[in-house]
Amino acid sequence: MNLLLLTPDDHLHDDLWRISDRRAQHIRQIRVLQPGDSLMAGLLDGDTGPAALEHDDGIAITLRFTPRTPPPQPLPLTLVLGLPRPKMLRRILIDATSLGVKRIVLLNSYKVDKSYWQTPELKQEQLRQKLILGLEQAGDTVLPELILARRFRPFLEDTLPSLSANSRCLIGHPGAPPLLSQAPGHEPVTLAIGPEGGWTPYESEMFLLAGFTGFSLGRRLLRVETAVPALISRIVALP
């Protein structure tokens, strides 16, 4: 945890805050901080700043914190991702959030096992916790927008056009030509990455008809959790 992420529920009054959950345990057991020590903190969806430990009674920790510094700049990228296996989902969401992605779409695909949509990992609180872990890692405070799209064609026809409007639209697909250049500056990008095994020919064609350009990183076939950070860092300059 590189950033202590606070919520309005943690606020006592003035600049005093109190925490008593896993964050307090992390401060005691992992960071080994004591009253008088300080660490970086941030208000969820707000600013960051130093926090000073005032008191620890073994149950709750009281801190003094005043948010003053804006969080890092977001990545101008929308990630459309074929729903990965539940074991992969946690790491992918944490990594994408750490990189600064602020809109993530988990999309159904022919190659996505129907059981994946029934996993407890897709419960709202479970998803939120993964995103928060990504924010804590990167020192960010702004939660990404997370969209669950269980129907492929309706999403591409009805929702994707507005999400990808005025952006550079790319679909990562094995066998496509290599990407030649990064997106300049802060040009918005919409990136579609398929599930294990990639998009089907029909799905790829649907993306191409929607204005996407196919590309790859070469001849190597990458696992999804490897492809996501590799493709993102290849396409846009990280903030």
Predicted pLDDT of residue 222: 75
Q: What is each CA distance from 109 to 31, 124, 156, 171, 204, in whole angstroms?
A: 42, 21, 12, 14, 11
Predicted pLDDT of residue 220: 67
DSSP conformational letter for 122? G
Cβ contact 136:3 at 8 Å? yes
Predicted pLDDT of residue 172: 85
With a cut of 70, which residues of the chain have pLDDT below it? 175-185, 220, 238-239
User: Between 3.90.1150.10, 3.30.70.580, 3.40.50.10190, 3.40.1280.10, what CATH number should domain 75-235 receive?
Assistant: 3.40.1280.10
SS3 119: coil
Predicted pLDDT of residue 214: 87
- Please tell me the distance from the alpha carbon of residue 20 to that of residue 181, in angstroms, as a whole number: 47
Predicted pLDDT of residue 217: 72
Predicted pLDDT of residue 75: 92
User: Between 2.40.240.20, 3.40.50.720, 3.90.1170.50, 3.30.540.10, what CATH number should domain 4-65 receive?
Assistant: 2.40.240.20
**Strand duo 48-56 + 38-43: pairing:** antiparallel
Sequence-distant (6+) residues with CB within 8 A of 224 are: 81, 82, 84, 88, 92, 193, 195, 196
